[in-house]
Amino acid sequence: MALFELKQDYGNVEEGLPPPPTFKDCAAADIDLVFFNGNEHADLHLIDGKEALVIIEEGGLREHNSHWEAGAKQNFDTGLYTAYTILYIRVEDYGPKPKVGKQLVMDAGTDHKRTYSIMKCEEERGVYRMTLERTRQ
C-alpha cells in the first residue's frame, strides 16, 4: 500500500475535454509566469532601443595586466578589466538571433547605459541566453 494516493480526474477526451498538460506544457507556461515575471524575477530594461523584461546574471571580472605611472594605473592596449554578464531575454522581445560580436546597448538614455559585445547567443524554448563582454578603458 502506498503512503498516499493521488488521483486526478482530467475528464474524458470523448467528452470534449482537453488532454492533461504535459511537463513541457507546464515548463513553457512557467517561462512567462515565473521566470519573466516582473514582480518576481525579471527586471525591465531598454535593450537595443526596445523595452523588455530581462534577467541579468552578473559574471566575474578579469583584470588586465597594467602598470602604475604618475599615480594612476596605466593600460592603453586592452583596458583595465573585462566584465562578463549573462542576459536572458525572450526571442519575441529581442527579434532575430544576433551574431557573435554584435554590440548590444542596454539602458541607452539613462545613467546606467552599458555597451556590451555579444560573445555567445543560444536559444532554447523561446529564450535567448546571451553571454556578454564589456571592457572598461
Q: Average pLDDT for residues 71-90, to the nearest whole number?
A: 71
Strands 103-106 and 114-124, bridge-based pairing: antiparallel
Entry pTM: 0.71
Identify the CA nearest to 110 among candidates 39, 59, 49.
49
pLDDT greater at residue 123 or residue 80? 123
Domain ranges in the chain?
21-65+77-136
pLDDT at 80: 66
The number of beta carbons lying within 10 Å of the beta carbon of residue 16 is 7
Topology annotation, domain 21-65+77-136: Thrombin, subunit H (2.40.10)
Select the more confidently predicted residue: 8 or 122: 122
Q: Is the distance from CB of 86 to CB of 67 less than 8 angstroms?
A: no
Which residue do the cell numbers 555597451 mark?
115
